[in-house]
Amino acid sequence: MASLSFIVGIFGNIISILVFTSPISTFWRVVKKRSTENYKGVPYITTLLSTSLWSFYGILKPGGFLVLTVNAAGAVMQFIYVTLFLIYAPKDKKIKLMKLVAIINVGFFGAVIAVTLLAIHGNMRLTVVGILCAGLTVGMYASPLAVMRTVIKTKSVEYMPFFLSFFLFLNAGVWSTYAVLVKDFYIGVPNGIGFILGSAQLILYLIYKNKSTASKSEESTEEAEEDRSAHLVKGDVEMSSYEVEDENRLKNRTIAKGRSLPNPSVNRQHSLQKIMKTLSMSPYELHSHEEDEYDIGR
């Protein structure tokens, strides 16, 4: 039984460290942009307190080596996250977070250690620290309840990452099994609650995954139809403008053509009048007219 619990504890260490390393991509972005943007620093501060208390619990508990190792590693990682957050946070937010770190991670944690070692004796030490650790762990596992409510309300799993939910579910399940094997009530209760909540998250994911995909496809279809309608309207407007332009161009061309026609000269008009007059004359008038022109010519 001891060897089985050790193997389960090793497996739990590996999964927990994977969960602790999940914010690395977030803080890589923070360091790259030199800004914390809209990220919240409180979850890392409370997780630092939780891992620190669990490390202290692992020191107090006989045979609590695996509890100590995983939570000590988690405390180091959370300390790095909190430090980076304080470096790149805006000045007003930085001051508030520094006060919170001083109160929670220094004041409260130091007070717990001092009271436990100086005022409490025997097995009562493990009980007090165990209750505090269990309460913080239940709060950590209960924090996704708001996300679950959002999923039910929006019928979308967009804001509930699958792998994070899956690893939290797996982590709680492994540590619940470890708690049963070593008969540790303080580890078993919060992780049992976390296992139930993690199962609920995965069930919600399975229920609303297809609905989220369908809603996205409907939105993309609506956007495509709107784009098509916009293109059709734009095409109609352009065709209308082209027709108006063609009509105006035709009118202008006609006017220009009319203006470009050559005007009949005075000589041509005179010759035409002369021909018409000649055709209208009688033979006598024509003969006398020719004589007059002959005289004029002479």
Name the amino acid, one letter, at 55: S
Write the pLDDT tens digit of every residue in 12-42: 999 999 989 988 988 999 999 999 888 888 8
Name the amino acid, one letter, at 71: N
Q: How many CB atoms lie within 10 A of CB 259?
A: 7
Query: Can you tell me the mean pLDDT for 181-191?
Result: 93
Percent of the chain with pLDDT over 90: 46
Q: Report the distance separating Cα 143 and Cα 135, nearest Å.
A: 12
Residues of the chain by 3-state class (helix, strand, coil), percent to 5: 85, 0, 15
Distances (CA, A) of 290 to 170, 267, 277, 294: 128, 20, 13, 6
Q: Is residue 94 over pLDDT 50?
A: yes
Q: Reduce the DSSP state of residue 145 to 3 states and report it.
A: helix
Write the pLDDT tens digit of every residue in 212-222: 555 554 555 55
Distances (CA, A) of 269 to 191, 278, 296: 115, 14, 21
Query: Can you tell me the mean pLDDT for 283-290?
Result: 42
Q: Report the distance separating Cα 60 and Cα 122, nearest Å.
A: 10
CA atoms within 13 A on the CB side of 81: 25
Q: Is residue 226 over pLDDT 50?
A: yes
Q: Is residue 6 over pLDDT 60?
A: yes
37: left (phi over 0), alpha (psi -120 to 50) or beta: left
Identify which has the larger pLDDT, 155 or 170: 170
Q: Which two tokens stand for residue 117?
A: 């070692």
Range with the lowest mean pLDDT among 59-68, 123-132, 209-218?
209-218
Helix (H) or strand (E) holding 29: helix 24-33
Local structure of residue 61 (DSSP, 8 states): S
What confidence tier does 103 reach under pLDDT thresholds 50, 70, 90? Answer: very high
Query: Can you tell me the mean pLDDT for 36-54?
Result: 90
Name the amino acid, one letter, at 117: L
